[in-house]
Amino acid sequence: MKELKTRGGRRVIALGQDSLLTMDRLQSMLDRFDTDPRIVSVSIYPGLGESHFTRATGPAGPVTLITTETELTGEITEWAQQVSSRGFWHDWYVLADRDVKTAESQLAAPELDQVERTDPSSSRFHDADQRTEPKTLTIAIDVTWLGPHQTGAQVLTTAAIEALAQNPKIASIKLIGLTELPGYAAHLTELSGVSMASDIEDQDLADVIWYPNQIDQRVNIGNARKLGRRIVTTYLDLIAYDIFRYHGSPEGWSAYRALQRRVALSVDGITTISADVAKRLYQEVPLLQTKRIKPITLGLDHIAAPVTQSTGQLQTHPKEVPQGLGSKPFLLVLGNDFSHKNRDVAIQAWQLVLQEGIQCDLVLAGLHVKSSSSKDREEALLKKHADLRGKVFELGHVSDEVRLWLLANSAVAVYPSSAEGFGFVPYEAAVFGTPSTFTRFGPLAELTGVTTGPKNWLPEEYATDIAQLLTDPDFVSTRVAALQEVTAHLTWERFATELTDFFFYVSGIPPVLTSAIGSTTGDTAALASVLNSKVWRASEKARRVKNKLTRS
């Protein structure tokens, strides 16, 4: 070991691959010792961005200079710990040069320095995160929301993964949050570059972790910084934020609302599925930085192409379709019976159409939900129904085959929803040439291009529009054409391209400032989980009595 001397007279020796010590590098490292007498080691360490010095808990990398002012006995790691305990310092000379990145490391980074690579408040995080423009990105995607039934939220996740896997700028995709995918999503791991993540602790840090559905108590966002250098989440809507009945208690609602605001401020990037959702988010979280949020409308080409009438494929009843359905024109209400879906309005409108002498049946296809359901209102209306010009078919959840048959064979898709982030059904129906009726608000006004139809949610407004769609072919053609024009350019490939571009953009800007002050989102998620638990809901009556006594 050849002894070297700094300009200030300090004596040092080199350990490791001294071939990396070019004249410029060596002089910079020697000069570093002279900046503070507490510095006892300076290591060359591979990193990203411009060259710089940073403080570490011990020497690491392919080559290290150490002072001879303290006796070097035993292993260098033991020596480093001993001198550190006396208050001496270790510096890294972080370089992005190719020969440094490919050099064999002689000393592994101390455990604490490795841990702090995932902590945005640490200098180590930023040492490792000063990035040059990457050509490809590695992505981790949370798939927690892929439950047993496939609805709009699940379509977003599965269709987006399929499209992202085809994008040449995405190097690999790890799926997290589930140990096994449901049947409709099982094919995802067969796609090139897509795999399930078995253990979070064993995963390499991805460039971006994406949460396709807004965070709630099902998702542990507290792990996000351990999984990705940047966090991006997608807000589908603010329906649960706005509607109390979707929660087990006032406290649960409050916790959920706080969680949504804190998540918005703690992630590095947000996408929304319409500009309308972005607008609402800005209203609720005014501290949001506009550069960190981007509306990206969903794709619509996941719907199977319509089958020609000559094949008879869609005219043949799937075995799950009740006998008699299709014997006369029928209206289709597709979706679970959340109150905001207003299925009771559809029933009232249908009954008014029948009173005009138009014969047609009504199909209600969708699950009854546990909370915020319109089931009682629907049952009250249907119990009084006695008009023989039409009957109702309640199908519950339907398979993909039945869903497509209903969309293709219904006379009108009735979609009286009053809260949406996007709204798939009118577009899905249009793919099959089926007209739909809906109120133009929010994303439906923003995207559909339809200028006619109900102006509000009065059953009379819907009945008038339905009657014209059942009797006026030109009116039908105009409605369908407007929606088909939208579906022509809203593809999942376009969605994946815009999302990938946003991932690159977010990767190139500093992490959000609030990421450095701790995981309040994790604490709030835990609170939301408690407030929405069965135990909390079961004790709701007792809490009401207690609150009443307290107020008295």
In this model, does residue 9 exceed pLDDT 90? yes
Q: What is the mean pLDDT of residues 135-153?
A: 86
Q: What is the mean pLDDT of residues 193-219?
A: 81
**pLDDT of 275:** 95
Q: Which residues contact 481 (CB under 8 A, 6 or more apart)?
A: none
Give ∠ CA 421-281-254 in degrees, rounded to 5.
95
**pLDDT of 535:** 40
Residue recorded with tokens 């022509």: 488
Q: β-strand 412-414 against 436-437: which pairing, if any?
A: parallel
Task: Report the predicted TM-score, pTM, of the whole model to 2 decimal places.
Answer: 0.75
**Would you list the DSSP string of 420-466?**
-SS--HHHHHHHTT--EE----HHHHHHS----S-SSS-HHHHHHHH
Q: Do domains 137-299+533-538 and 330-490 have the same CATH topology?
A: yes
Percent of the chain with pLDDT over 70: 88
When pLDDT is cut at 50, 70 and 90, the band that residue 70 belongs to is confident
**Residue 457 has which token pair?**
């949610």
**pLDDT of 201:** 56
**pLDDT of 308:** 45
Q: For 137-299+533-538, give the CATH class.
A: alpha beta
Q: What is the mean pLDDT of the chain?
A: 86
Tell me if residue 466 falls in helix, strand or coil.
helix
In this model, does residue 131 exceed pLDDT 70? no
In this model, does residue 446 exceed pLDDT 70? yes
Going 169 to 175 to 180 to 184, the CA torsion angle's sign is negative
Q: Is the pLDDT higher at 220 or at 332?
A: 332
In this model, does residue 495 exceed pLDDT 80? yes
C-alpha–C-alpha distance, residues 107 and 257, integer Å: 47
Q: Is the pLDDT higher at 429 or at 534?
A: 429
- CATH number of 330-490: 3.40.630.10, 3.40.50.2300, 3.40.50.2000, 3.30.1010.10? 3.40.50.2000
**pLDDT of 313:** 46
**pLDDT of 281:** 95
Q: What is the mean pLDDT of residues 183-209?
A: 85
**pLDDT of 526:** 47
56 contacts 109 by C-beta, under 8 angstroms: yes
User: Which residue stretches of 356-424 are H helix?
Assistant: 375-383, 400-409
Q: β-strand 293-295 against 269-272: which pairing, if any?
A: parallel
**pLDDT of 316:** 66
139 contacts 164 by C-beta, under 8 angstroms: yes
CA dihedral of residues 367, 370, 376, 381 (deg, nearest 10): -20
C-alpha–C-alpha distance, residues 333 and 464, integer Å: 17
3-state helix vs strand vs coil in the chain, percent to 5: 45, 15, 40
CA dihedral of residues 16, 18, 20, 23 (deg, nearest 10): 150
**pLDDT of 219:** 78
pLDDT per position as a tens digit, 85-108: 999 999 999 998 989 989 999 999
**Residue 276 has which token pair?**
């309308």
In this model, does residue 39 exceed pLDDT 80? yes
In this model, does residue 432 exceed pLDDT 80? yes
pLDDT per position as a tens digit, 405-424: 999 999 999 999 999 999 99
**pLDDT of 405:** 92
**pLDDT of 414:** 98
Kindly list the domain boundaries of the chain, sorted by start residue. Answer: 3-129, 137-299+533-538, 330-490
**pLDDT of 544:** 44
pLDDT per position as a tens digit, 231-287: 999 999 999 899 888 887 888 888 889 889 989 999 999 999 999 999 999 999 999
**pLDDT of 545:** 41
Percent of the chain with pLDDT over 90: 59
pLDDT per position as a tens digit, 517-551: 654 445 444 444 544 444 444 444 444 443 443 33
Q: Is the pLDDT higher at 546 or at 349?
A: 349
When pLDDT is cut at 50, 70 and 90, the band that residue 71 belongs to is confident
**pLDDT of 386:** 84
When pLDDT is cut at 50, 70 and 90, the band that residue 29 belongs to is very high
The total number of residues written for the chain in this structure? 552
